[in-house]
Amino acid sequence: MAPARASRARAQLTIMEPPAKVGAKPGGTLARLKLQFNPATLTLGKTTEWRRTPSRMAGQSALPEFVGSGPRSLSLEVFLDATATHDNSVEQAVQQLMVACVPTSASLARKTPASPWVRFEWGTSKTTSFDGVLSNLSVNYSLFDVDGKPLRATCSLSIEEASVDPPGQNPTSGSREARRTHRVVAGDSLPLLAWREYGDATAWRAIAEANGIDDPMVLVPGTELVVPGTEDGTPEEGP
């Protein structure tokens, strides 16, 4: 008798409570969405940030200075289908994904609003499985029941890696108390910079005050920002 074939690995998305404090692991599971169909493709990306200071004496171009390593990003499409059952499963799955885009009740109670963390898991894959946050979600409904209920949908989503490493240190002094500078690149925002520096996106106000910035989402590429350390007003970690 031929040996039984191993069951096909099913991909799933786990939605978790965000960490209660900087450097902690994500909390308990809020929802687990087992995908009906495994993705046909996965797009994995990672960035590095380099700074070049123009030099009038350089023959070709200035040597790049390594600033930091960016997070991994994963993009995929989730296909939902309820044509066999004509139930509410498509909208229920979409609602689970929407939950990952808004602050959790627990984080609001702590007065540190944060959306859930998510993890994509598929069999033994390691490079595409990491703790992150849902940075983008779009849903395309393509088939409806006679009462208007969605029966098919394609959900495009992007997950950005959320580091649990200790907050960044000043590369010159090795101390968070010292100030450093950051040259703005396209796509930067103060909450993103605060997350990279302190592990806390809500600490962006300290950077805004140090630089006289009114709008944390609008930064001009090429601008040199002062990034204060904890002694300059950055909130300390909670107990």
pLDDT for 222 equals: 78
CA triple 96-81-148, angle to 5 deg: 85
Helix axes of 190-198 and 204-211: crossing angle, nearest 10 degrees: 120
pTM for this entry: 0.65
Question: 18-49 b/e with 16+ CB inside 10 Å = b?
Answer: bbbebeeebbeebbebebeebbeebeeeeeeb
List per-block mean pLDDT (blocks of 10 residues) for the chain, which spans 239 residues: 56 93 84 94 91 68 76 95 96 95 92 93 92 95 97 96 56 44 79 80 85 81 78 45
CA pair distance 53, 158, nearest whole angstrom:
33
pLDDT for 47 equals: 87
Please, what are the domains in the chain? 12-161 (2.40.30), 180-232 (3.10.350.10)
Amino acid at 207: I
* Residue 128 near residue 136, CB atoms below 8 Å: no
pLDDT for 74 equals: 97
pLDDT for 60 equals: 67
pLDDT for 4 equals: 43
Residue 190 neighbours by CB under 8 Å, 6+ apart: 204, 207, 208, 213, 216, 217, 219
pLDDT for 61 equals: 67
pLDDT for 63 equals: 73
pLDDT for 234 equals: 43
